[in-house]
Structure formats: C-alpha cells, structure tokens
Structure 1
Amino acid sequence: MTEPLLSVRDLTKHFPVTKGLLRRQVGAVKAVDGVSFEVRKGETLGLVGESGCGKTTTGRLITRLLEPTGGRIVFEGVDITHVKQGRMRPLRRDMQMIFQDPYSSLNPRHTVGTIVGAPFRIQNVKTESGIKKAVQDLLELVGLNPEHYNRYPHEFSGGQRQRIGIARTLALKPKLIIADEPVSALDVSIQAQVVNLLEDLQGELDLTYVVIAHDLSVVRHISDRVAVMYLGKIVELAERKALYDSPMHPYTNALLAAVPVPDPRKRADRDRIRLTGDVPSPINPPPACRFHTRCWKAQDICKTQEPPLEALASGHLVACHFPENAPDKPAGVGAHPAEERATT
C-alpha cells in the first residue's frame, strides 16, 4: 500500500463558549471530536451527515482555514497541523477548496478574469501565455465561454457561478480538492451537470476529492468511499457499495431510509426509520455512544462505554456495540465486544 495523500488522526476542534464582560470561558462547542481517516491519491471520499455534525468544520481544518484544537493532519507525508501561515501558503497550491454558496464565494465587484486569475497573482505563478490566456483556458475547461472573462458574477446563473468557483480552484493544479456541498445550492437539473463535471475533471487532471454533502444520492454517484459523521465523530467508514448495500450503524440505516424513492411500489415496501428526539447539543454531547439518545437499539452499555471505530468486515469500520448487517463470527474468536457479552 502506498502512503495516503492525506492522513487525519484524532482531529478535534472545540470552539470556546464565553460569558460575561470578561469573556470567561464557560464551555466549548465540540464541533469535531476525534476524527480519523485517510484519503488515497486519485480517490473520492464522501463525508456525510446531518447539518451541524461537523462536516464543513472538518473540511476547513484540513485546508487549515481553521486552527485545530488537537490531532494531526498529514499531507503528502508532511505534518501541517500547526504550520504557520507563511509556510502554509506554498502548500495551498496543492490543496484547494470549493465553497458551498456560489453567490457569496465570488466577489461581486470583481470580473471573472480577476477572480479566476487571483491564485496566479497571489502565488506569483508565471504562465507561458499570460494570466488572461490561462484564465480563458480554465473557463473553457469547466464548460464556460472564454469570452466571459470580462463579465461580473451577477451576470451568471447559480450553476455557472459554481463553475467559475471550480475554475478558480483548478488554477494552480491542486492535488487535493475539498468540495463543501458543491451542488446543494443548485437546482436538481444543474446538480447532475456539476457532479459530472467534477468526475470528468478528476479523470483528466488526476485529482483527489473529499466531498462534503448531506445528499446521499450525490455521494453515492461520485464517491469511492463514504464516511458517516454524527455529532463530531465518524460512526461508519466503508467502500461505497458496501455502505449502501449493507449499512451497519443504526444512524447510517436511518439516513438511507430517509432518501426519497421515486418508484411508488418500492416506496411502499420500504421500512421507514423515524428517529425520535432532537440532535443533542455539541456543547454537552451524550456520554459514551453519542447516538444512544436517538437509537432504537441502545442498551445500558451504550450509555457507559464508547464504542471504538473498528473493522467488522474488510475495509468496513463501524463504531457501534450492536451493529446491523454485521458478518457472523464465532463467539469469543475475533467477535465484537458486544457480541461476546451477548453470548456469555
């Protein structure tokens, strides 16, 4: 196995909660609390979960737009966890981000040429035929007209604006792209076009993606592996087919059960899982398994002992005491701790 392009170990980000005139800290929002995963060169890792689970914060930590509270981020064998901004600047050529909102991520006072050409000027990168020609080539690459060079963002649709953002991201030929909800703000008809564009660019430019999304249909279409987050932690990580065909964590099953099914006959035959209660506050998350307050399979051990994220099948990691669809194992021989307790 070759060394992964990106390795994240026990990554945490706690935002302090302050109170009073002296801004005394009284708590912390545990937005990301011990996340670990790897991304291999050329693959696409999907990061999914409910709003507020820490997906976007994880993406911003990886690109060092936020300073991590703890853990390690290793990119191409280099630990960038606490690298100063001066040393981080050259690394940003290889690590870029596509933002969620194509309306607010583009400066309305700048032309498309200025926006897409900004990375060349900031990084002082010289091009063979000049910045204008390089920008026009990028616009053509993402499906826009090179003549759009002198237009402003307000003259474009949402899908076209997202293409402009993608062109800006590709300017310095990055190796890793963090795509934060790249199609959630777009119409359904445009979403497929942008997703297909990202796939075509990956094959053409040998890109590696971490795609952050809450739309499981989009993630299924574009991802090679999928990580499911809940309240700041990864609860399941597996190859795309294994996760969608045989989800093991109850939370993953609930997410997949909520995906709309267009066929009325299949919709009637499907068992719908309805979670009770609200998502707990990340300021005071539940002890042990954070999903136990909403889980229909929770038992006493779920409230007192946190389940480790461990492999229950080849390449299939799950953090659950009582997983579903888990392969059968002989009692006491490599069995899951919860299974051993159940047999004894």
Structure 2
Amino acid sequence: MSETLLSVQDLRMHFPIHKGLLRRQVGAVKAVDGIDFEVLKGETLGLVGESGCGKSTTGRLVTRLLEPTGGKIVFEGQDITHMPQGRLRPLRRDMQMIFQDPYSSLNPRHTVGAIVGAPFRIQGIKTEQGTKKAVQDILELVGLNPEHYNRYPHEFSGGQRQRIGIARTLALKPKLIIADEPVSALDVSIQAQVVNLLEDLQNELDLTYVVIAHDLSVVRHISDRVAVMYLGKIVEIADRKSLYTSPMHPYTNALLSAVPVPDPKVRTERERIRLQGDVPSPINPPPACRFHTRCWKAQEICKTVEPPLEQLASGHRVACHFPENAPTVTPAPETITA
C-alpha cells in the first residue's frame, strides 16, 4: 500500500458577493462545496469536469494560494489548512503548481534564467556549482537548450514556454505538482510532447501529480485515478480503467459520450448523451443532488436527499441514487428450518 501524500476532507471555498456602498454581503459563489479525496505518493490523480465546476479553485486551495472557507488539507500528515504564510513558505518547496497559460504565468521582463532561478533565490537555497548551472541543468531536463538562459519568454513558442513553466516548478524538486490544464493552451501536436514529458519526469524524479483538465483523452492517458467534479462537488472517483469502462454516475456517462472516437463505425453505434439545459449557478445551486436538473434518471428523492459519495465497487465511489453499471448484489438464499 502506498502512503497518502495529500488528504482533503470536506474542503469548501465560498467567494462572498458584496453589494451597495457599505459592501454588505448578499450571497456567495460556492465554487468548492465539500469535497473529499486522497492522493497517494507516486500516483497521478486526474480532476475533470465542465468549466466552472471548481477544478482550478481546488488546485489553488491545495497549494494554499487561496484561503479555504472550511474543511481540512493534510500534506504529509501535517494540517496546512490555515497555516500562516511564514510557516508555509518552507513547505512550498514540496508543493508546486503548473499554470494553464504558459505566457501569462511568466514575467515578460525577466529572462528564462531569472524565472527558473527565482525559487532558489526566494527560498535562499545555494547549490554546489551555482544557481546558473542548476538552472541550465533543469532546462536541459525539460528538453530546452541551456543556452536559452538569457532569452525572454516572448522569444519562445507556446510549447517551449510551457516547458519553462515546468522547469520553474521542478527547480526545488517538489513532491507534489498540481498541473492546472497543462496542455489546453497548446497546439495538438505539442500536447503529446508535454504529456509525455510529464510522465517521463514523474518516473525519473518520483513525482506525484494532480492533473486538472477537461480533455478526457489526456486524463485517460496520464492518470492512475480520476475524480469527476460537477458544480463544486465530486460525483465519482475511481481508477482509470474502471471509470472509463464502467462509469456509474450519469454525468460521467454524458462526459464520456462526448469524447471523439476516430473509428466511424464505433462513432455511429455509440449513443451520444446530450444534457438538457445549462449548468446551474454556483451562487444558488440546486438542492440535494446538484445534477438532478439535467439528469434523465432523476426522481423525487434526487430533489430532496443528497446522495453520499459511497463505494459501490472496489476503489469506485459514486454520489448517485440511481447509478449505472453498478454491480448487482445477489441476495443470500433463505434458510428453511423444519
């Protein structure tokens, strides 16, 4: 059994809505509203869902770029939920984040050497052969030329800029990396290169990933387990094979039915599930099961009782009153006594 590196319990993030001259709070955007998951050391957890479901907010909460409204974040057995920034600074060596846009996350006024060397300077870390040599080694590790040390971000392509962001993330040899849509802003031809790079680095440096994405094909390629989010809640979490071959939550089935299939015969035979209506507002989410307003299997209980995220198969947890592909339990035969 692998040890748990990260544990999240009932994590919540509500952004207050203020109105009027006195800035009175009139509501809150419930971006993340009570989620639980664990990440084992050395594995890759994929976090998927529609835009606005709370994936990126979850990543920023885990790395403590945002202060949680409630819940608990435990990293390597240490509660970091409301840890002061002074105590949190040393821990940031072990937790890093790859941002979605490889250009806006890099300072255009700084050279590549200054960008990738910033973690050494901020953490006050000295290397045997100097920071410049360490930065050049990292650039070579991610597939860039060490001579790029004195160049600026605008001189690179999108894929190269993302590699610079990855190099900065790897500078202090972290244990956990949160990758927020690491390939969504890249050309399709470059996406495979970056995904393969992430996998190679994981094997070489013993990294643990939480990959946030909406591209289910990328998530299937890189993840060991996958968690599906909808409107601030995790509705299903399972290992990659189980989730893609036997999805249980109706929302997961709808997502997978939208994945493009290259085989025309399979594509015509497959049922395409089209969800009706728009995603409800996180300011006033539906009661009980949040998916019931768009679910074709919804019944009265879905509108009144919130389904718990419970295990229906080995390592497969689902929050649904009427799951699909659920294993059937054969009742034990009655014993007839004389």
Where on the TM-score scale, by shorter chain, does this alignment land: which range?
over 0.9
Structure 1 residue 266 displacement after superposition: 1.1
Alignment partners' CA distance in 2, 1:291 and 1:2: 33
Query: Corresponding residue for 1:73?
Result: 73
Unpaired segments ≥5 residues, structure 1: 334-344
Query: Corresponding residue for 1:110?
Result: 110
Q: Which amino acid aligns with 2:236?
A: E
Query: Corresponding residue for 1:336?
Result: none
Query: Corresponding residue for 1:243?
Result: 243
Alignment partners' CA distance in 2, 1:320 and 1:181: 27
Unpaired segments ≥5 residues, structure 2: 334-338
Alignment partners' CA distance in 2, 1:194 and 1:123: 27
Query: Corresponding residue for 1:95?
Result: 95
Structure 1 residue 296 displacement after superposition: 0.3
User: 1:182-261 alignment to 2 at 5 Å?
Assistant: 182-261=182-261
Whether contact under 8 Å (2:46, 2:226) holds in the other structure is: yes
Whether contact under 8 Å (2:2, 2:41) holds in the other structure is: no
**Could you give the per-residue CA deviations for residues 82-137 of structure 1, whole angstroms, max 9, x where no partner exists?**
00011010000000000000010000000000000000000000101000000000
RMSD between aligned residues: 1.0
3-state SS, counterpart of residue 5 of structure 1 = strand
Q: Which amino acid aligns with 2:87?
A: R
Alignment partners' CA distance in 2, 1:2 and 1:290: 33
Structure 1 residue 282 displacement after superposition: 0.2
**Could you give the per-residue CA deviations for residues 29-74 of structure 1, whole angstroms, max 9, x where no partner exists?**
0000001000000000000000000000000000000000000000
Query: Corresponding residue for 1:30?
Result: 30
Alignment partners' CA distance in 2, 1:154 and 1:24: 43
Query: Corresponding residue for 1:11?
Result: 11
3-state SS, counterpart of residue 280 of structure 2 = coil
Query: Corresponding residue for 2:293?
Result: 293
**Could you give the per-residue CA deviations for residues 251-310 of structure 1, whole angstroms, max 9, x where no partner exists?**
000000011112211110110000000000000000000000000000000000000000
How many residues are paired up?
A: 333
Alignment partners' CA distance in 1, 2:3 and 2:189: 38
Query: Corresponding residue for 2:336?
Result: none
Alignment partners' CA distance in 2, 1:151 and 1:63: 29
Alignment partners' CA distance in 2, 1:25 and 1:183: 37
Q: Which amino acid aligns with 1:85?
A: Q
Alignment partners' CA distance in 1, 2:148 and 2:175: 27
Structure 1 residue 14 displacement after superposition: 0.2
Query: Corresponding residue for 1:274?
Result: 274
Alignment partners' CA distance in 1, 2:26 and 2:258: 37
Structure 1 residue 2 displacement after superposition: 4.8
C-alpha change, 1:323 and 1:38, in structure 2 (3 Å) is same
Query: Corresponding residue for 1:340?
Result: none
Q: Which amino acid aligns with 1:219?
A: V
Structure 1 residue 330 displacement after superposition: 3.8
Confirm whether residue 122 of structure 1 aligns to residue 122 of structure 2: yes
**Could you give the per-residue CA deviations for residues 181-229 of structure 1, whole angstroms, max 9, x where no partner exists?**
0000000000000000000000000000000000000000000000000
Query: Corresponding residue for 1:55?
Result: 55
Structure 1 residue 3 displacement after superposition: 3.6
Alignment partners' CA distance in 2, 1:297 and 1:192: 37
- Identical amino acids, percent of aligned pairs: 86
Alignment partners' CA distance in 2, 1:295 and 1:128: 59
Q: Which amino acid aligns with 2:123?
A: Q
Structure 1 residue 331 displacement after superposition: 5.8
Alignment partners' CA distance in 1, 2:187 and 2:296: 35
Confirm whether residue 315 of structure 1 aligns to residue 296 of structure 2: no
Structure 1 residue 332 displacement after superposition: 9.9
3-state SS, counterpart of residue 147 of structure 2 = helix
